[in-house]
Structure 1
Amino acid sequence: MAGGEGSAVRVRVDGLNKAVRALRKSGADMQDMSELMHAIGTTVVLAARPRAPHLSGAVSRSIRAGRGKTKAVIRAGSARVPYAGVQHYGWPAHGIAAHPFLTDALRQEAADIYDQLDRGLMAILAKNGLPD
């Protein structure tokens, strides 16, 4: 995992791209992968919301899971909540401490996320008659 001011937090799973390519080549419905990645993202969202700053609750309400076929994406903030990134990463020059609610949620849920990914991939492989 890596992170810093203005950067994304990423977890890389070795072999996932190879598995996705094999699924595509087999003609498997990639909607299943999109649903799996959204479910994984939702796990992080549910863990991050209680950790987000709650002065008004806007940051917490802005946390959401995106949909991707090869990755789980979690976003916080919007045009109405442009300060979510500042809350997460901090802004030392302005005396704002970091509250890495997304990173903390990701770390807390890591074991469950890997389990979800493993079970989900196995189910997709089985559904498409592919060896595991």
Structure 2
Amino acid sequence: MARTSAFTVRVQGMTALQRNVRRLKDRELNNSVRAANKAAAEVVKPEAEATAPKGRRDAKSSKRYKPGKLAKSVKVTASVKGAQVKAGSAARVPYAAAVHFGYPKRHIRPNRFLFRAMARKSAEVTETYEREISAVVRQHLEGD
């Protein structure tokens, strides 16, 4: 079951900017906006990697279990509409959702390390996003 983040950054006028970007159909502008989104999300990644549970290997652990795989799986994806910080994958770290959101049947308590990382870095994300989008607007929309 997919769950959405409790943390989002709302930018006043972003919908209008996205609409205008789509109308212009300028590939370079799209790439610049995507890069700005990614730069803002990259601020959260080191904090999420540092606070991700590392786990430990014990006698009952599967031979395939390797501590630290969850922290290494944290990645940033970005598009023109926004960016996301994700952890885990179905093939390599299928237990990421169970760790993050909890799994009561298995007595796994939630460890919302991604949400905490976003909460700690929200001011820095806002500053980075504002700086990056301002640069894109100056470069592409106000003239070269």
Q: TM-score, normalised by structure 1?
A: 0.86
Of stretches 20-29 and 87-96 in structure 1, the one that deviates more from structure 2 is 20-29
Q: 2:59: which partner in 1?
A: none
Specify the SS of the correspondent of 1:65.
Answer: strand
Q: CA deviation at 1:127?
A: 0.1
Alignment of 1:68-107 (within 5 A): 68-78=79-89, 79-107=91-119
Q: CA deviation at 1:130?
A: 2.7
Residues in 1 aligned to 2:3 and 2:18: alpha-carbon distance in whole angstroms:
25
Superposed structure 1 runs of 4+ greater than 3 Å apart: 23-28
8 A contact 1:34–1:68 mirrored in 2: yes
**How many residues align structurally?**
127
Q: CA deviation at 1:50?
A: 0.8
Residues 27 and 125 (structure 1 numbering): CA distance in 2 closer, same or farther, change over 3 Å?
Answer: farther
Specify the SS of the correspondent of 2:83.
Answer: coil
- Alignment of 1:118 with 2:100, yes or no, is no
Q: 1:54: which partner in 2?
A: 54
Q: 1:63: which partner in 2?
A: 74
Q: 1:127: which partner in 2?
A: 139
Residues in 2 aligned to 1:45 and 1:110: alpha-carbon distance in whole angstroms:
12
Output one character per residue of 1:5-59: Cα deviation in whole Å (capped at 9) or x when no partner: 7412041514212112223434551101111111122111111011111020000
8 A contact 2:101–2:112 mirrored in 1: yes
Residues 34 and 108 (structure 1 numbering): CA distance in 2 closer, same or farther, change over 3 Å?
Answer: same
Which structure: larger Rg?
2
Residues in 1 aligned to 2:101 and 2:38: alpha-carbon distance in whole angstroms:
24
Instruction: Identify unmatched segments of 5+ residues in structure 2.
Output: 56-66
Residues in 2 aligned to 1:119 and 1:22: alpha-carbon distance in whole angstroms:
19
8 A contact 1:66–1:72 mirrored in 2: yes
Q: Structure 1 vs Structure 2: percent identity of aligned residues?
A: 24
Residues in 1 aligned to 2:18 and 2:42: alpha-carbon distance in whole angstroms:
20
Query: Residue type matched to 1:57 in 2?
Result: G
Q: TM-score, normalised by structure 2?
A: 0.80
Of stretches 118-127 and 34-43 in structure 1, the one that deviates more from structure 2 is 34-43
**Greater RCO, CA 8 A, separation 6+:** 2
8 A contact 1:6–1:89 mirrored in 2: no
RMSD: 1.9
8 A contact 1:89–1:99 mirrored in 2: yes
Specify the SS of the correspondent of 1:30.
Answer: helix
Instruction: Identify unmatched segments of 5+ residues in structure 1.
Output: none
